Structure 1
């Protein structure tokens, strides 16, 4: 807590504590002033149909909340309690209806002071002492979560694109290798056919040569025997 807050909070809380104690001890005047307000809100808020008891309870709450605010304990929650009970503990008197100029000025000054106290309490409800508020941290967390989700989606999209590109590259590579294997197989088949052809021609020539030799031998043998055999 800074020095300014150590001084400002007790100064703000002092008149609030005093009005809370006064409302708790002597609720009659406050109850009469707050009766129009209580008549409107007692039904929706389910408050007791007893303005004196409501004012006394609200005064006690204001006194305790003001003490906590002055001590710097739960300052935002204490200030919120003071603001909530203000319409009962700090009732606004219709000074504009007062015909006596002196009383009108007095009530008007009280009205302005009351507004100032409520405004100070409202500021205290949002005073985070330089720390980020819960709403700010929530907005920041939502932004961080949204950014993380967008990054994850972008990474997933990039990964899918890489997989598709890799798949196309792999398919193209496999197709190319298959074509190379087919060409090599066709080349090997042609070489094997050539080898088989050469072997067949050599075998045929050798067979013809052997047959020619055998025929010549047979012809010579036939001549000797007196037989003429066609070559």
Structure 2
């Protein structure tokens, strides 16, 4: 924790703790001011139909969360709890409806102070103390995944091209081998035919020679 956070968090938490304790101890007046908000959120959030108890509980949550924020324990979660209970613990009074100038100025000052506290708590919810936030890590992971997918597609395309080229080369090689085999077979066939013709010619010559000898023997 930096020195700025060590100072800023207790300063922000002090009025929140004070207001939370005050609301928890004396919830009746705050429950009356928070009734419009409670009437709207009690149904969806399934809150008890007891404004005083809800306001007291919200005050206690604000006081505890403010204390944790002041000492730097679970600061983002604590700030989120403060923001969630702010509509009940820090009700915004419509100062513009007040006709008394003095009361209007007082309510306006309270209104501005409340907005400032809520704004500070909102900033605390996103303070990651210099560490990458979950959203940032998520975006980085998505980018890394997208890059990996693109690289995988490129590798797959290159592999497909290599396989296709290898197939073409293998086909050409096989065709050449088949053609060469056919040529060799043709040459072998021609040689065999010539050899057979030579053998046949020799045998024919021998037969003629034997026939002439036989004829000469008969004449004698």
C-alpha distance in structure 1 between counterparts of 2:166 and 2:51, whole Å: 79
Shifted more, 54-63 versus 143-152: the winner is 143-152
Paired position in structure 2 for 1:18? 18
Paired position in structure 1 for 2:109? 109
What is the total number of aligned residue pairs between the two structures? 220
C-alpha displacement of 1:156: 2.2
Paired position in structure 1 for 2:157? 157
C-alpha distance in structure 2 between counterparts of 1:152 and 1:79, whole Å: 43
Written as runs of structure 1 = structure 2, the 5 A alignment for 1:60-99 is: 60-99=60-99
Alignment gaps of 5+ in structure 2: none
Give the CA RMSD over aligned residues.
1.2
C-alpha displacement of 1:3: 1.1
Alignment gaps of 5+ in structure 1: 222-231
Shifted more, 9-18 versus 133-142: the winner is 133-142
Written as runs of structure 1 = structure 2, the 5 A alignment for 1:17-36 is: 17-36=17-36
Paired position in structure 2 for 1:182? 182
Poorly superposed stretches of 4+, deviation over 4 Å = none
C-alpha distance in structure 2 between counterparts of 1:185 and 1:36, whole Å: 103
Deviations 1:89-115 (A, max 9, x none): 001111111122111111111110110
Larger radius of gyration: 1
TM-score of the pair, normalised by structure 2: 0.95
